[in-house]
Amino acid sequence: MHGERFGRMGFILASAGSAIGLGNIWKFPYMTGENGGGAFVVIYLLTITFIGLSLFLAEVVMGRLSRSDAVSAFEVLAPSHANLWKYSGFMIFTGMLILAFYTIVIGWIFKYIYISTFALPSSVKEAGASFGGMVTTETIPQIFFFTLAFALTFWIVSKGVKKGIEKVNVILMPLLIIILLVLFAYAMSLDGFSKAVTFLFSPDFSKVQSTSILAAVGHAFFTLSLGMGTIMAYAASMPKHENIVKASFMVAFLDTAVALTAGIVIFTFIFHFGAEPSQGPGLVFISLPPLFYQLGLMGNIISVLFFTALAFAGITSAVSIVEPTVMYMTNRFKMSRKKALITLGSIVYVFGILALMSNIETLKGYATFFGKGFFDILDFTSSSILLPLGGMVIAIFVGFVIDRTRLYGLLKPFMNDMLFKLWYFSIKYITPIGVFIVMVNKLFF
């Protein structure tokens, strides 16, 4: 059983910190830009409500009922075949694959805080060359910033649930929201603000393709940190009398609000300077810095604030990725927290260096397997196979294996019968089918 418990706001802020990551501030805006704006946002919001929230609550329920790590949760809660169900809990190791490349991206963000302070690129061409050069040629600086992100993440987790994870989220999450609100207030004074709001909230469904729908479903699923046992581990450390339904809604609300606020801020700058919204993954690293440059010293300040917010979002998510596996190793093998972290850290660091090398022109030959770079292998395997698989297993387990009366007993104090029936139907049928379709599409189309 897990000893340390979150405080009341600790669980909400830690889960929100886990959910609010680079996906909200980096990925959501560029995906919205690529998929035509408002219509994509509508589909995304519907998916968050019917699939994301259902699955989030299912993970919370498993953590709350079992009060243990993900592997033990399946064992404890399975009425039969517990020895087989426990293998589902090994979804926690997906987090380690994600962490290896996620900390590289956090490293890039640290570098951009430095660039924002001293040398913003003056044109999109210069920004593209700068970003491309950093990723493909700069070995030592990238290793330095990756190591910094890696060390910071593992140091925070080493402090434990209360003194590490909760404390860092209680400080960084409000700071992240304050920075975003400052940027939002500034964006309101620019000409591009009304265009950004129109672009995000006036849906034009003629621009929607089947790929847009699947991208929205996939992103809604990943943005809430589902399918790798993180929310389960956090829920196991919840205060005893927490309203789990309200807490789940709060996390989903905060997650979505941050994504939309970041979207408005970014597109305001894009439209204010007449740039193109559909610029893909380089939107934050290539399109924004030259726009900030045009604002002079004010631009430097805004750029530092923006990339600091992005770094905070990245770190709080990275910390949450480590905890489920640490929890499993300390519970199951009676390891000390320090020993578990050293074991995991060694694997993540080696994988991270390999992933980093696979982008460097002169080194990629040493980190390419089956014609694919190690960075891309980690990204594809985790986001297209392991996370959806983890989510599907949780939905099936909660919908078909755990006794319905047990679920009803836990949730009855927090939701009416109608809401319970809606959630139960969603977790049984809508969620597994939705996730399965996204997974098949990513793998075969």
Specify if 424 maps to a domain: yes
DSSP classification of residue 372 = E
Instruction: Say if residue 336's pLDDT is above 80.
Output: yes
SS3 368: strand
CATH of the domain at 131: 1.10.4160.10
pLDDT band (50, 70, 90) for residue 3? low
Instruction: Say if residue 5's pLDDT is above 80.
Output: no
Specify if 287 maps to a domain: yes
User: How many domains, in total, are found in the chain?
Assistant: 1
Instruction: Say if residue 2's pLDDT is above 60.
Output: no
Helix axes 70-77, 297-332, angle to 10 degrees: 50
Q: Where in the sequence is the domain holding 75, given as residue range(s)?
A: 8-444
pLDDT band (50, 70, 90) for residue 352? very high
Instruction: Say if residue 1's pLDDT is above 70.
Output: no
Q: Which two tokens stand for residue 223?
A: 């943005």
Weakest-pLDDT range from 282-291, 339-348, 413-422: 282-291
SS3 295: coil
Specify if 2 maps to a domain: no
Q: Exposure pattern of 381-414 as b/e (b: 16+ CB <10 Å)?
A: ebbbebbbbbbbbbbbbbbebbeeeebeeebeeb
Specify if 3 maps to a domain: no
Q: What is the mean pLDDT of the chain?
A: 89
pLDDT band (50, 70, 90) for residue 390? very high
Q: Percent of the chain scored above 70 by pLDDT? A: 98
Instruction: Say if residue 353's pLDDT is above 90.
Output: yes
Q: Looking up tokens 């070995």, which residue turns up? A: 139
The confidence score (pLDDT) of residue 204 equals 84
Residue range 144-175, pLDDT digits in tens: 999 999 999 999 989 877 788 888 888 888 88
